[in-house]
């Protein structure tokens, strides 16, 4: 039966492929039969996953971070013991062979039976150890999902798989970067959730906020993902399928044409030069930056180095990552944002997953100031990398003057430490602040005199201004970059920064949306930082725009409070020859 589901488009493009349902350990685990001739391979897959987890745990054990609580090492030993116990690493192998089932299912059955045994224990300490069993099983299940099942349908059609998930974390996305998925579709998420941002950076068509897709779609079903309209069509009829194949071809042709703009300077019709920078998550993204023709990196989200691991990266590891990027950019600016964890980017073991209201909690600069040693380690690594190129340092989520002065004091401390140790670094690394909390946008003089540049994080600025969780699918439709309050704050920040004579960029997703390019140019923005995949489209708009012609439109837009009228004005601004 053919049906369609509407969600929110987060990464453009069209994909046609077969559904691969992503297994989430917190959700139901898939159960399928494995044919007798594949059973041996399935047992081997299970053994490999156990071995991967064993290596992970051993690795963690030998790198217990300094300052970790003493229980940490004991807890790793306990997990290794549980993993190595026959009941967990042996019995599921027998179950696979006896029942002819997949490894995940065998493991889940064994976990359920162990948990039942633990629950019957009277001793409360021992009873609580069932949590540890679950955690170890989850690790093995995660390792299993990283290794395609010998018999699962996606294995046959890996190249045209579409990943269907209930939810994906930014950390999951890092893992999927290496897979050849044609598209991502998820029940949860919003247009600027970090999962969506990473999907966009990969240039892979994606639709989020589909609410019940994971439950409705079956493994292997054919799906069309329309990343422009934000819709997916399951089991499309032949007519629809051929229409979408045509559209897909057109889309690719357009992308090819846009690529030719790579070396064209982003200058408006009236001769104003615009700076186009790239956002990256990892050093490997530098290749895409180079291909896009970006003039530097306006946002390096350093927290991605802290994901998918249970320890924290040390100074040396961080230094090597930052140095790699700064060196590769050969003198072009590289804006390294300090650790922005929390909210939809929790990391283990640092952040509390079950904080009441994580977006309003101990995230970003707040977290760093509460953990000065972690922050100092990062500052030292950035300072050391700064002498290999043109590094800038960016502080996320500032909301009070005290935060800024504390962060600057820690930066001074990091410099003093390095000087005492005779470790070279660039003394005058430019320091910028992210304006992504309404309080910061409304009280800019609190920060401006102490900073060298500003960068507007519109993703969070919108989230906090409109009180809409950017990762919550239930309110994703309310997330609106052209809400008058948002426009006021963005325009005001740009104007105030210009008056004070300090550079200002936008590095939130608004900067990479070609439908908002003219608006931001009209507000006076001259520096845009976006995912490399978006750069050609934004450049194309810049090349067709004359700044003086924008003025009357912008005046009207900033005085309009009616949603429909605003939409109409925006459409006319974008259509108009100016």
Site string for ligand PEP, 379-418 (x = CB under 6 A): ----------------------------------------
> Hey, which residues between 160 and 199 contact ligand PEP (CB under 6 A)?
197
Length of the chain: 578
CB environment 237-248: b (16+ within 10 A), e (fewer): eeeebeebeeeb
Check: CB of residue 570 under 8 Å from CB of residue 515. Answer: yes
Residues 441-470 that bind ligand PEP (CB under 6 A): 457-460
**Three-class secondary structure of residue 457 per DSSP:** coil
* Residue placing its CB nearer to ligand PEP in the complex, 375 or 464: 464
Task: Measure Cα distances from 491 to 16, 167, 455, 496, 565 in Å.
Answer: 40, 34, 13, 9, 19
Please tell me whether residue 117 adopts helix, strand or coil conformation.
Answer: helix
The distance from CA 554 to its chain's CA centroid, rounded to whole angstroms, is: 32
* Closer CB to ligand PEP, 190 or 457, in the complex: 457
Report d(CA 410, CA 141) in Å as an integer: 41
Segment interacting with Mg ion (CB under 5 A) among 20-28, 305-313, 316-324, 431-439: 431-439
Out of 202, 307, 507, 573, the residue judged to bind ligand PEP by CB under 6 A: 507
Is 209 an interacting residue with respect to ligand PEP (CB under 6 A)?
no
Rounded (10°) CA dihedral 396, 398, 403, 404: 80
Of these partners, ligand PEP, Mg ion, none, which one is at the site of residue 301 (CB under 5 to 8 Å by kind)? ligand PEP
Rounded Cα distance, 347 and 362, in Å: 12
Residues within window 490-529 making contact with Mg ion, judged by CB under 5 A? none
The least CB distance from residue 436 to Mg ion, in Å, is 5
The residue (of 506 and 554) whose beta carbon lies closer to ligand PEP is 506
In whole angstroms, what is the distance from residue 553 CA to residue 569 CA?
A: 7
Catalytic pick among 20, 166, 194, 531: 194
For ligand PEP, which is the closer residue by CB, 56 or 303?
Answer: 303
The only residue of 93, 139, 166, 301 in contact with ligand PEP, by rule CB under 6 A: 301
CB of 366 to ligand PEP, least distance (A): 14
Closest approach of ligand PEP to the CB of residue 465, in Å: 12
Annotated catalytic, 368? Answer: no
Burial (CB count <10 Å: 0-12, 13-18, 19+), residue 285 = buried
Of the pair 133, 199, the CB lying nearest ligand PEP is at 199
Active site residue 101: no
Torsion sign across C-alpha atoms 483, 484, 488, 491: positive
Considering the complex, state which of residue 45 and residue 194 has its C-beta at the smaller distance from ligand PEP: 194
Binder of Mg ion out of 298, 457, 481, 522 (CB under 5 A): 457
Residue 69: cis peptide before it, omega within 30 degrees of 0: no
Q: What angle do CA 171, 146, 530 make, to 5 degrees?
A: 35
In the list 56, 104, 226, 340, the residue contacting ligand PEP (rule: CB under 6 A) is 340
460 in contact with Mg ion (CB under 5 A): yes
For the chain, the straight-line distance linking the first and the last C-alpha, in angstroms and rounded, comes to 48
Number of residues that bind ligand PEP (CB under 6 A): 11
When asked if residue 436 is in the footprint of ligand PEP (CB under 6 A), the reply is: yes
- Report phi then psi at 562, rounded to 5: -95, 125
Instruction: Give the nearer residue to ligand PEP in terms of CB position, either 292 or 458.
Output: 458
Least distance to ligand PEP from the beta carbon of 343, Å?
Answer: 8
Residue 204 or 461 with smaller CB distance to ligand PEP: 461
Given its phi and psi angles, is residue 303 left (phi above 0), alpha (psi -120 to 50 degrees) or beta?
A: alpha
469: contact with Mg ion by CB under 5 A: no
Per rule CB under 5 A, is residue 358 in the interface with Mg ion?
Answer: no
CB 520 within 8 A of CB 511: yes
Provide the minimum distance between the beta carbon of 462 and Mg ion in the complex, in angstroms, as a whole number.
10
Q: What angle do CA 457, 458, 459 make, to 5 degrees?
A: 95
Residue 507 binding: pick among Mg ion, ligand PEP, none (C-beta 5-8 Å cut-off by kind): ligand PEP
Using CB under 5 A, list all residues that contact Mg ion: 436, 457, 460
Which amino acids are annotated catalytic?
194, 507
Using CB under 6 A, list all residues that contact ligand PEP: 197, 299, 301, 340, 436, 457-460, 507-508
């Amino acid at each position: 039966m053919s049906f369609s589901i509407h969600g929110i488009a987060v990464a453009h493009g069209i994909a046609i492929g077969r559904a691969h349902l992503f297994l989430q350990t917190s959700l139901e685990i898939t159960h399928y039969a494995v044919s007798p001739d594949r059973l041996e391979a399935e047992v081997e897959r299970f053994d490999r996953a156990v071995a991967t987890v064993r290596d992970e745990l051993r690795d963690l054990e030998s790198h217990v971070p300094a300052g970790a609580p003493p229980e940490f090492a004991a807890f790793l030993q306990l997990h290794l013991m549980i993993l190595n116990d026959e009941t967990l690493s042996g019995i599921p192998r027998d179950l696979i062979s006896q029942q002819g089932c997949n490894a995940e299912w065998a493991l889940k059955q064994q976990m359920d039976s162990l948990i039942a045994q633990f629950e019957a224990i009277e001793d409360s300490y021992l009873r609580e150890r069932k949590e540890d069993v679950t955690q170890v099983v989850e690790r093995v299940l995660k390792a299993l999902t990283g290794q395609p099942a010998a018999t699962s349908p996606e294995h046959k059609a890996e190249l045209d798989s579409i990943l269907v998930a209930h939810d994906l974390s930014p950390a999951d996305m890092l893992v999927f970067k290496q897979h050849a998925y044609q598209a991502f579709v998820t029940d949860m998420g919003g247009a600027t959730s970090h999962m969506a941002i990473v999907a966009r950076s990969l240039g892979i068509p994606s639709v989020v906020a589909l609410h019940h897709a994971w439950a409705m779609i079956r493994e292997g079903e054919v799906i069309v993902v329309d990343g422009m309209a934000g819709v997916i069509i399951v089991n499309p009829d032949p007519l629809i399928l051929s229409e979408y194949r045509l559209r897909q071809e057109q889309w690719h042709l357009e992308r090819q044409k846009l690529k030719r703009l790579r070396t064209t300077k982003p200058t408006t019709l009236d001769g104003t030069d615009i700076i186009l920078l790239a956002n990256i998550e990892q050093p490997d993204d530098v290749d895409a930056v180079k291909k896009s023709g970006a003039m530097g990196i306006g946002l390096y989200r350093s927290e991605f180095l802290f994901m998918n691991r249970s320890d924290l990266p040390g100074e040396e590891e961080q230094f090597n990552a930052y140095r790699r990027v700064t060196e590769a950019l050969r003198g072009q600016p590289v804006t390294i944002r300090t650790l922005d964890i929390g909210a939809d980017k929790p990391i283990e073991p640092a952040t509390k997953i079950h904080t009441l209201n994580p977006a309003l909690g101990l995230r970003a600069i707040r977290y760093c100031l509460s953990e000065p040693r972690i922050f100092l380690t990062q500052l030292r690594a950035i300072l050391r990398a700064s002498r290999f190129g043109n590094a800038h340092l960016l502080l996320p989520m500032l909301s009070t003057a005290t935060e800024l002065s504390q962060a600057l004091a820690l930066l001074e401390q990091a410099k003093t430490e390095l000087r005492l140790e005779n470790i070279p670094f660039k003394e005058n690394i430019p320091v910028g602040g992210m304006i992504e909390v309404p309080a910061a946008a409304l009280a800019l003089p609190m920060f401006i005199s102490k900073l060298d540049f500003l960068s507007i994080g519109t993703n969070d600025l919108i989230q906090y201004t409109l009180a809409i969780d950017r990762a919550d699918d239930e309110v994703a439709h309310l997330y609106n970059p052209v809400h008058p309050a948002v426009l006021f704050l963005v325009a005001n920040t740009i104007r105030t920064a210009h008056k004070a004579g300090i550079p200002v960029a936008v590095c939130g997703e608004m900067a990479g949306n070609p439908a908002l390019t003219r608006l931001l140019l009209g507000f006076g923005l001259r520096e845009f930082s976006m995912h490399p995949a978006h750069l050609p489209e934004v450049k194309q708009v810049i090349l067709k725009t004359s700044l003086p012609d924008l003025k009357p439109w912008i005046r009207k837009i900033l005085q309009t409070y009616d949603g429909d009228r605003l939409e109409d004005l925006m459409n006319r601004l974008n259509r108009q020859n100016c």
